[in-house]
Structures are given as C-alpha cells and as structure tokens.
Amino acid sequence: MRTGTVKFYVESKGYGFITDEETGKDIFVHASGVKAEELREGNRVSYQEEDGRKGKVATEVHLL
C-alpha cells in the first residue's frame, strides 16, 4: 500500500487527485476506488496504484 495526501476531491463529480508521499507525484482517484465515506483536501490516505486507461489510478483508498 502507498500513502499520500488528498490534493483535492470533487464529491459531486466523483474524482480528484492524491499526492503520493514518496514520489510527490499526483495520482488520479475515481469514486469507484474510494473505500472511505468521504475524502477531503488534506486527508492522509493509503491506496493501491493500478494502471488506468490514461495512466496510474488510485484504488482501495482508505483514510489513515
């Protein structure tokens, strides 16, 4: 599992980005991969990284 911080998440649209703690790169997150009740800017999360259609995608996102 990787860890990061929610850069932003738009609940009404169901997507956002997480900044990876190790690499500093942003990774896309879709509502289908979120296992928490809600994500907010600044939340620290753990996640798995998978290949998506347009690059890396965060899945199995949990609040820490």
Count of structural domains, the chain: 1
pLDDT of residue 37: 81
**Residue 8 pLDDT class (50, 70, 90 cuts):** very high
Q: Which domain holds residue 9?
A: 2-63
Tokens read off for 26: 């942003």
CATH of the domain at 23: 2.40.50.140
Residue 10, amino acid: V
pLDDT of residue 64: 94
Asked whether the beta carbons of 2 and 22 are under 8 A apart, the reply is yes
Rounded Cα gap, residues 45 and 1, in angstroms: 10
pTM listed for this prediction: 0.90
Length of the chain: 64
Asked whether the beta carbons of 34 and 45 are under 8 A apart, the reply is no
From 63, 3, 64, 6, select the one nearest 36 (Cα to Cα): 63
Question: For 10-57, what is each residue's pLDDT tens digit?
Answer: 999 999 999 999 999 999 999 999 987 889 999 999 999 999 998 899
